[in-house]
Amino acid sequence: MYTIDYYRRSADWLEERLDDVPEIALILGSGLGPLADQIENPIVFDYKDIPNFLVSTVKTHAGKLIYGTLAGKKVICMKGRFHSYEGYTMEQLSIPVRVFKLLGVQKLIVTNAAGAVNLTYKPGDIMIINDQIKLALDSPLRGPNIDELGPRFFDVTKMFTPAYITLAHHCAENSGLTVHDGTYMFMSGPQYETPAEIRACRVLGADAVGMSTVNETLTAAQCGMPLLGLTVITNMAAGILDKPLSDEEVNEVASTISTKFTAYVKKIVEAI
Ligand code: HPA
């Protein structure tokens, strides 16, 4: 079980190497890395060089932490994130957001790729995450509470900041993107879901399903960090269409909309 000093070690190491406090942290999902290439005057860290940080084991996740300016704001951006299916515990998966909090980051934007459970969604659509369902695995906040990082028990009624949801809708105007409000459901992977699991997700109220993000959002909620979540729908979830799911399809759809999506997120960063 980590103590505050564990997270401080990474934060202190980064702080020594940055010229300013980043205002916004961005966590980029599968195939959504190109946004990071737009960061100006970047300082790039390999995850493996940051003390007490984790490393990416997924091919399509670059494993770089990039600090710089995006749309006039100081940002720190994870190009590639960590997942439970890589073998990390939920506690380990709280590291990045806690490190960002200790660095003084004020706002968090998370992006991910997910399968559509909602039959009205289409690949290439965007879902602004309004709420989430995490029934699988532990909470990332399980264990002795670190009071400096937030209370033991905390409210998650509005964990996705309502003003940011409104702002994300405004920014979508004239973006050429189709944008929905929806609920993201976490499944632990790495296998895609079975058709029966997807039917269960639908009954439970999910609009999209994916293997990431909920550890980051819960960690942010505990430490009171305002939060926006954006999902790129890369495929219809299992059993909806008569074809197998693949990560090639997920990455292909994510890269097809990456130009529009990048412009959209930049606009949000500017306005948030
Ligand atoms: N299921 C889980 N994770 C995903 C999917 C999916 O259909 N698409 C992209 N990530």
More confident residue, 255 or 160: 160
Q: What pLDDT shows up at residue 61?
A: 65
Containing H/E element for 208? Answer: strand 208-210
What SS3 class is residue 32?
Answer: coil
Q: Whose CA is nearest to atom 10 of ligand 1?
A: 114
Name the pLDDT band for 208 (thresholds 50, 70, 90): very high
Question: What percent of the chain is modeled with pLDDT above 70?
Answer: 99
Alpha helices in the chain (DSSP H): 4-17, 95-103, 162-172, 195-204, 214-222, 247-256, 258-271
Mean pLDDT of 46-51: 95
Atom of ligand 1 nearest to the CA of 236: 7
51, with CB counted inside 10 A (0-12, 13-18, 19+), is exposed
- The answer to whether the peptide bond before residue 190 is cis (omega within 30 degrees of 0) is yes
Question: Among 202, 205, 265, 201, which Cα is nearest to 232's?
Answer: 265
185 CB under 6 A from ligand 1? no
Look up residue 127 and give its two tokens.
């879902």
Q: What pLDDT shows up at residue 56?
A: 80
Query: 142-155 pLDDT, tens per residue?
Result: 999 999 999 999 99
Sole residue written with tokens 């890269």: 255
Mean pLDDT of 136-164: 97
Residues 6 or more apart whose CB falls under 8 angstroms from that of 162 comprise: none
Q: What pLDDT shows up at residue 30?
A: 77
Å from CA of 124 to ligand 1 middle: 13
Residue 137 has pLDDT above 70, yes or no: yes
**Amino acid of residue 207:** D
Residues 6 or more apart whose CB falls under 8 angstroms from that of 271 comprise: 167, 170, 171
Å from CA of 234 to ligand 1 middle: 8
Report the predicted TM-score, pTM, of the whole model to 2 decimal places: 0.97
250 CB under 6 A from ligand 1? yes
Name the pLDDT band for 43 (thresholds 50, 70, 90): very high
